[in-house]
Amino acid sequence: MLHARLKSARIARDLSQAQVATALDLSQGFVSKLESGDKTPSVELLQKLAKLYEVTESHLLGSTIEGSGDESSGSKTPAEIIALLLDPNLPSGLRALAEDPTINALKITLQEWRMLCSIALPREIDKAGYIQILLAIRGVLGS
């Protein structure tokens, strides 16, 4: 999903891959790999891309995070959350949750993201499993 949002944000700004590459001191091939999903940007590069495309990092990630402010006001997603979501070792179920367009309804806080990312599970679980864990965390913490 990130790769598709990178491409659509670039196109919305009427920029070519070559122009993006020049502006950010990258190769056009690397920009192409970002947009095809073959490469994942670092947190720093994601921030630069968001600035160039005049969108928030959370927009590129496909979510807004509770506590990060209103996306329309230009607020930024905390770098820590971006780093968590860009981690290549992030379990696929948690990544699916983060990329779900309905994530805003859950209003996941930074503390909850940290907890979800820190749980070591004996097997892979899907997005629904992470929602159940989130609800259990909220139940235990009374949030």
Q: Structural domains in the chain?
A: 2-141 (1.10.260.40)
Prediction pTM value: 0.56
Mean pLDDT of the chain: 82
Cα 29 to chain centroid, rounded: 22
HEC sequence for 31-100:
HHHHHHCCCCCCHHHHHHHHHHHCCCHHHHHCCCCCCCCCHHHCCCCCHHHHHHHHCCCCCHHHHHHHHC
Tell me what pLDDT residue 63 has: 56
Q: Per residue in 57-89, pLDDT tens?
A: 877 876 544 444 443 333 445 666 777 777 778
| Separation between Cα atoms, residue 48 and residue 41, nearest integer Å | 10
Residue type, 63: S
Residue 109 three-state SS:
coil
- Report how far apart, in Å, the C-alpha atoms of 78 and of each of 1, 73, 125, 136 are: 19, 15, 26, 24
Given the structure tokens 């503390």, which residue do they identify? 111
**Which of the given ranges, 28-32, 47-51, 63-67, 110-114, has the highest pLDDT on average?**
28-32
pLDDT of 113 > 50? The answer is yes
pLDDT higher for 81 or 122?
Answer: 122
CB neighbours of residue 106 within 10 Å: 17
The burial of 75, by beta-carbon neighbours within 10 Å (0-12 exposed, 13-18 middle, 19 or more buried), is given as: middle
Tell me what pLDDT residue 125 has: 93
Tell me what pLDDT residue 64 has: 43
Percent of the chain whose pLDDT exceeds 70: 85
Q: How confident is the model at residue 97 (pLDDT cuts 50, 70, 90)?
A: confident
Q: How confident is the model at residue 11 (pLDDT cuts 50, 70, 90)?
A: very high
Tell me what pLDDT residue 79 has: 67
